Structure 1
Amino acid sequence: MSSNKNKIVILSGAGVSAESGLKTFRDADGLWEGHDVTEVATPQAFEMNPHLVLDFYNQRRRQLKTVNPNKAHQILADLEEHFDVEIITQNVDDLHERAGSTKVTHLHGELFKVRPVNNPNRLIEWRDDLQMGDTDDKGHQLRPHVVWFGEAVPMMEKAIEIVETADILIIIGTSLQVYPAAGLMDYAKPDIPVYLIDPKPGIKESAKLRIFAKSASAGMEELKSILLKS
């Protein structure tokens, strides 16, 4: 990609995928599909009740197969015609990639990948249900390639490096008050424009920050026209 294109870095979260009909994991009451996060999204949960944990992610995987990218995903992909675009997403779905985005970093893992329990670096494509007894070629049990609560975020260093290179930062479908997005923002160059797309923003605009209090698709539609005129 030509080096004279402005670099746009996107921080995306669950609000982008929600418009595709993909349920956000955590409900307003803090439960994930009726489960406390400690039951389905921690290493201890997998040790105590692996069948429940695998079933939870099997359901997420099945659901992901039934949805499609929405207009927000598509606009982000289309921006690659005009800008050098990198997406850092907290989402574990593949909707950015399916829309056509070519540079996507997944902070929290990917539903369509699994890994041996003893090797976090060996990723295996996996689109079907995952059961106890499913192993790699060395006999090691496979687990979802998802960062659970209490686990390190292995892609964080790469994400920081990407944010440091941004000429424009767009935060969409995730709150500035929620980590890691909030922490990542601090690594952006101090003089770049920052855009937040959130139907219910918890912060106010500033000279540096412009807020679009809209859905992901509506906000990206408006922002795209602004970016292409600039």
Structure 2
Amino acid sequence: MGFDDRVAVVTGGGQGIGAAAVLDLLAHGARVAVLDLDVAALLQQLSAMGHAGSCCLCVTGDCTDAAVVSAFFDRVEAELGPVDILFNNVGQSARERGGPFAESEEAVWRFVLEVSLLTAMRASRRVAPGMKARGYGRIVNMSSDAAFAGDVGLADYAAAKMGVLGFTRSLARELAPHGVTVNAVCPGAIRTRAHDRLKPEVLAQIVAGTPAGFIGAPEDVAAAVRFLASDEARFITGQTLLIDGGRWML
């Protein structure tokens, strides 16, 4: 499942699932570009692993800023070449600003929709024409099993992530005749820095509600992304893959 110097972009790839995907793609031969607010930890990992700057471009920037995103893709194309693989990983819930919908604020909804849905649309709009013209491309969008479970306190996030699925299906149908696949991954409980802030009793509840009986690792998601980005997945498009230990089953 090698990538033979294909160019991949990972948004929000500075840590967690995004960083795991970056390292996985690099290990399988891709040249990778990353856009994130903080890439310091990833740069340390890359340095420790001996990855040269010629195979990984790390750019500090806000994925919700259209001008920053445009400049980033200009640089990627100039330094690495046309984008073959796009992993729209960036996104988050309202976190500390979250809570019951009846008490929520529109400004928070707009933030969640921007970072979790519009970033995927914006980046995809940038690479889709080139992929279509070249007759090849892989787009993998980050959703969440929260879109299906509808967890209390995550109404805006669930709406954004279900929006990602609708976008994925529509774009997949549009680009399929041109050799471009578009799929979505929906992680459940994955051990990231966000989980480190949860109380032990909350983590215990999550584990109890997961048939597999444990919390997944970022590498579990990265492996699925790698497959969907590979040539072996050429006949898979418009699909939603839940990576949640069986918490929700389609």
Using CA pairs under 8 Å that are at least 6 residues apart, name the structure with larger relative contact order, 1 or 2: 1
Same fold, TM exceeding 0.5?
A: no
TM-score band w.r.t. shorter chain? 0.3 to 0.5
Q: TM-score, normalised by structure 1?
A: 0.45
- Give the structure with the larger helix fraction: 2
